[in-house]
Structure 1
Amino acid sequence: MTTNVGGIDRALRIVAGIALIAFALLSGNQYAWIGWIGVVPLATAMLGWCPAYSMIGVSTCSRR
């Protein structure tokens, strides 16, 4: 796996992931399950690799 997620992209993914998971935990409505999708951006931020970016050939990482 080659790193394809840059610093700003990682930070945004972490914020989005935490916000979605917080929604899932704190929301009492029937759509709370949608918040668990926040695990995906958190995982890709921690790994530094996004499979969708790999498929379409995109990289936000400054180094190659």
Structure 2
Amino acid sequence: MQCNVGRVDQAIRIIIGVVLLLVGFLTPLGLIWQVVVLILAAIALITGIVRFCPLWAVLGINTCGQGKSV
């Protein structure tokens, strides 16, 4: 699997994921909004950890550099 998420992008995604997890668990949201926030948190964390974003692959965006693999 090719890397398409650079180090700065990775850090931002992980920070956003953690913040969204906290928001999802600690704020009084409706059930649907809580699920939406937790799904977004999971997506941000997973793409940050594995350094691959399927949406960016489709759009041709790469912040990782050329030819690097995970």
How far apart, CA to CA, are the structure 2 residues paired with 1:5 and 1:29?
31
Question: Could you tell me how far apart the structure 2 residues matched to 1:40 and 1:17 are?
Answer: 8
Aligned to 1:18: 18
Alignment of 1:62 onto 2:55: no
Aligned partner of residue 19 in structure 1, secondary structure:
helix
> 2:52 — aligned with what?
49
TM-score by length of 1: 0.89
Using structure 2 for the length normalisation, give the TM-score: 0.82
Give the root-mean-square deviation of aligned CA atoms: 1.1
Structure 1 runs not aligned, ≥5 long? none
Match of 2:5 in 1: 5
Pair 1:38 & 2:34 matched: no
Task: State whether residues 13 and 41 of structure 1, in contact with CA within 8 Å, keep that contact through their aligned partners in structure 2.
Answer: yes
Residue-by-residue CA offset, 1:12-58 (whole Å, 9 max, x unaligned): 00011111111011012213223202100100011110000110111
Unmatched 5+ stretches in structure 2: none
State the structure with bigger RCO (CA 8 A, min sep 6), 1 or 2.
Answer: 2
